[in-house]
Amino acid sequence: MKFLLAIISITLFTSCKTDTNGSITSDNILLQEGDIIFQTSESEQSKAIQLATNSPYSHCGIIFKQDTSYYVYEAIQPVTKTLLKEWIKRGKDNHYVIKRLINADNVLTDEALLRMRETGKAMSGKDYDLYFEWNNDKIYCSELVWKIYKEGTGLEIGKTQQLKDFSLSNSIVQQKLKERFGENIPLNEKVISPAAIFNSSLLYTVYEN
């Protein structure tokens, strides 16, 4: 019995180990394609997003594998795929959380993953959407994740809201809104936030460093 517990402990430790750059080691044992990864961005708008959504996480993307490397499909400027190790380095204190669909083994079939990749490729190169509009002309980070899952699996990961549903009273949030919209803030605009995806009941936490 002690031997069995020792083996389990070693396995859990090595599979969750990270290196000094925050990168997952041990052959990325934890990772699966379609995993969603979250971080606190160091971008100019990050603090406003955190305050408006009452969440520490202001950026997210989807993990896919190409050849032997893992990449994050993400909406920055422009929409692109970023090597996982480099993506992690950009976040505050290299901190990140990985979440997975609760029934991923059944839902994320090869066909579903192919549709998700194709959706991501179709979005690649699009400009980042500073105005958080619900169309495909430009894309913001959580919108990309939500739409890749919607197109690939039919699932809606996270509840969409209207801009007016967020906490907009903080002066930092107000300043950012005024910079973007002036006096014409689109309070009825449909949006999906990183926090809404993070808190989705369809996901569970795989790893947090």
Other Cβ atoms closer than 10 A to 200: 20
Helix, strand, coil percentages (3-state) for the chain, rounded to 5, are 40, 20, 40
**What pTM was computed for the model?**
0.87
pLDDT tens digit at each of 209 positions of the chain: 434 434 333 333 334 444 434 445 434 458 999 999 999 999 989 999 999 999 999 999 999 999 999 999 999 999 999 999 999 999 999 999 999 999 999 999 999 999 999 999 999 999 999 999 999 999 999 999 999 999 999 999 999 999 999 999 999 999 999 999 999 999 999 999 999 999 999 999 999 98
> If residue 75 lies in a helix (H) or strand (E), which one and from where to where?
strand 69-75
Closest C-alpha to 53, from 209, 192, 202, 203: 192
